[in-house]
Structure 1
């Protein structure tokens, strides 16, 4: 009876953290879905331009993922050990790192925007649209990274509510602003990019204000910045594996046809949206696992890990059923282009079938990140990318498989990650005790 009560308490705690985390994680991809729907009515070339530009900008965030996930892991362990001030200090250094790295990326991105867009886009018109959107949207890069750092330390101290309101404030205003700028004022695709930067400015400002209110020193500490960089190396390499996959998928779709890349943009943004929905459980597990290991409680860490894995499977099955039922309706909300709509079923049913697999994979990533097991995740995901996704996706370009080939590559990628994650969880080698790993 006592064990059953404890498990119920853990589940309530998990859901208490996961629900507001869901709002934070879903806000950005939900905004991108709104953005995609608004831009989709401009035409296939503009939608293709948004697809190329958005995937490039997304890779900046993916490559710097350690600012959120790495900071959460370190802050959670310190919080579990009763060292809140030290946990918040991790957020200060992560924020400094975000500002420095973001400004560097802004400069480099402006120089490379045109050649990158030409490389990824399938035609000159789509490339021109992507360049215009990207040059404006890049001004939000430092702001995105500051928001990631803020999310990281607040998750670590198990404060999920403030990040929810901060992100909703930015994205909510921007979601209203986007159609006004794009269609109302006639700014087209550039209006979408401006609305994007406005959202990021509002959210980043709120996170900085929360950090200042904690009363800790806001000075940069070079030794801690170097330590963050060392820890983040593995997560940056992990991000590089994802970057190679998503950019390759967009490039292959763009070189298939404008309709194919438009359809891929819609389904892929839905995929990313649901991935973030499932990541809400992963974020909660990350905070709880890190806190348990910081408090030297290995048994609690194990229980959280297995419980969240089961929840991921259940939610994945539910999402699969829901989007199977919406297959005849939802695509029309994003575009009226007949060519794009005709391509969409080739990706849609892969997207539906993969939800239960993704549900397990994403939450296992959260468990292992909470334990600070970044090296394993780096190696496992790099292998899944190099030996799974990339060979299949580039073969699909040569063999003219189109969207079927792209989403077959994603299937192989996820199945390899599933096998790696389950085996690692069962081994127990991830559960290292202590405030710092």
Structure 2
């Protein structure tokens, strides 16, 4: 009953009601911001692909390593920050900010002292100003500090371990991919602090339901990256080093824009060190760290297996993977909306709102996945030549296209379920369930890749995402953990 309830009324999933508008206001800017970076990475891939298949494959391995290490810090930090900030912001709105009635009384008293300020528009503007002082959100400051520390540690780690990690990924001293891969990975590691800090700040903005500012900052940074790519790669003839430098500059630019904007809205200088809520972030962050390690290990292992099969296989896998992740992450905008809205609803124990929004988010996610699947099936056979002209690479890409396209609905639901569970602060289940999914998926990767090569890798990745989606359905369908209210309050189900 709980399972089918999630998709009841799916005909109205795209209705322009109040519920749909609230989701759209948060999800659309987030989706565009999340899509901007993978699109910029696709453009990077297209530029690097013009250098040659060896360089393309080398950068593919380096990006897989960088993303693996980055996600170990970014996803737990951003996810926990979004939930905590949303809860703290909701609490502050209820307890400390002036109510609408108080604002109107204040405006009315000011009008008596200043009769010229009597127009309705002036009243609204002045009332709005009274409620828009800087917010006091302790988790925001803690997230930025932790993000900076993690970024420095990642830089040092990648600089000193780049070659051993690349060797582990299948690039030995005889591989032509080793030198360009090591050069790209070492340079790009200097951008790690900016990447993690900017993502921590995006988590803060998501928590206060301001998703437009991160969108503007991301677009400016990615456009800068796209402009610098051809200049550094071809005009200055820096090759893969130019691509890495362009990425670093764009990430620091994004961080500066976000920090400047955030300082206008949130008080980032607590009065004492006790106001830094490090314990909350670290406790839940460690749980999600386990989940992210398990999740990204599957993707990184698949890249390692592809690299061991040679530059041609790795180049094709890199292109398919970038497209797969770029389109799948579009659903992450819905996940962010779900997390921000549900975190506030759970804090207020508004369970009716929890289920209403959860159902609508899953329905929109399913529709989005089906639309993406249709477009990828239609366009990828023709668009793949934008990334490479190598005949062998194109042949392998054609093998991966059906899997990249067909898994889009599954991927969309998996990401939305992540956001819903994070909004419920169900970090423990998210962690343990992902460990089980990863164990099965890693076994499938080894077995299927050894018997079916490139095709086997994509079959295993399809199974991996299916299991993630099933884990999300299972938690809500069984009514356990934070969803136990579904058993206790039958009215919510109606």
The answer as to 2:139 corresponding to 1:90 is yes
Of stretches 186-195 and 420-429 in structure 1, the one that deviates more from structure 2 is 420-429
Structural mapping, 1:166-177, within 5 Å: 166-177=217-228
Please state how far the C-alpha of 1:212 moved relative to its aligned partner: 2.3
Distance 1:186 1:432, change over 3 A: farther
2:101 aligned with 1:50: no
**Aligned pair 1:119/2:129, yes or no?**
no
Distance of 1:420 and 1:21 partners within structure 2 = 25
Deviations 1:270-299 (A, max 9, x none): 111012111111111111111211222111
Match of 2:128 in 1: none
Counterparts in 2 of 1:57-206, with a 5 A limit?
A: 57-64=66-73, 65-83=75-93, 88-122=137-171, 124-206=175-257
2:127 maps to: none
1:40 and 2:49 correspond = yes
Pick from 445, 470, 483 the counterpart of residue 393 of structure 1: 445
Find the residue that maps to 1:213 and give its secondary structure: helix
Structure-2 change in CA distance of 1:289 and 1:87 (3 Å): farther
Deviation per CA, 1:333-374: give whole Å up to 9, x if none. 111111211111221111111011111111111111111111
CA distance in 2 between partners of 1:247 and 1:382 (Å): 15
**Length-normalised TM-score, structure 1:** 0.94
1: distance between equivalents of 2:380 and 2:221?
A: 30
CA deviation profile, 1:378-434 (whole Å, cap 9, x unmatched): 1111111101x10111123433x222111111111112112111121233433489x
Q: Offset of 1:147 from its aligned partner? A: 0.8
CA distance in 1, matches of 2:198, 2:419: 19
- Which region of structure 1 is more displaced relative to structure 2, 292-301 or 152-161? 292-301
2: CA distance, partners of 1:348 / 1:215:
45
Mapped to 2, the partners of 1:91 and 1:79 lie a distance apart of: 10
Q: Which runs of 4+ in 1 moved over 3 A?
A: 4-7, 82-88, 219-223
Matched with 1:326 is 379
Task: Name stretches of at least 5 consecutive residues in structure 1 with no aligned partner.
Answer: none
Matched, 1:221 2:273: yes
In 1: Cα distance, 2:195 partner to 2:484 partner: 31
1:129-182 deviation per Cα after TM superposition (whole angstroms, max 9, x unaligned): 110000100001111110111110110110011010111111111111112111
> In 2 relative to 1, CA 215–365 (structure 1 residues): closer, same or farther, beyond 3 Å?
closer
CA distance in 2, matches of 1:416, 1:234: 19
Paired with 2:476 and 2:160, the residues of 1 have a C-alpha distance of 43
Q: CA-to-partner distance for each residue in 1:304-351, whole Å, 9 max, x for gaps?
A: 111100111111001000010013211101111112111112211111
Note the alpha carbon deviations across 1:207-260, whole angstroms, 9 max, x for none.
Answer: 222232235242583762233111100111111012211110011001112111
Q: Which residue of 320, 340, 348 corresponds with 1:287?
A: 340
2:14 pairs with 1:15: no
**From 330, 336, 341, the counterpart of 2:389:** 336
| Pairing partner for 2:402 from 345, 349, 363 | 349
Closer, same or farther: CA 78–395 of 1 in aligned 2, 3 Å: same
Is residue 2:262 matched to residue 1:211?
A: yes
TM-score by length of 2: 0.83
The DSSP-based 3-state class of the residue aligned with 1:159 is coil
Pick the aligned partner of 1:239 from 292, 316, 319. 292
The secondary structure found in structure 1 opposite 2:63 is helix
- Give distance in 1, aligned partners of 2:135 and 2:283: 18
SS at 1:328's partner residue? helix
Structure 1 residue corresponding to 2:482, chosen from 424, 430, 434: 430
Q: CA RMSD in A?
A: 2.0
Instruction: Quote the offset at 1:88 in angstroms.
Output: 3.3
2 CA distance for matches of 1:254 and 1:269?
A: 15
Alignment partner of 1:25 is 2:59: no
Find the counterpart in structure 2 of residue 254 from structure 1: 307
Whole-angstrom CA distance in 2 between matches of 1:122 and 1:57: 15
Shift of 1:268: 0.4
Show structure 2 runs of 5+ residues with no match. 1-11, 98-133, 486-494
Question: Contact conserved, 1:77 with 1:292, CA < 8 A, in 2?
Answer: no
Secondary structure at the aligned position of 2:381 is classed as coil
Separation in 2, partners of 1:147, 1:432: 36
Q: Distance in 2 between matches of 1:221 and 1:130?
A: 42
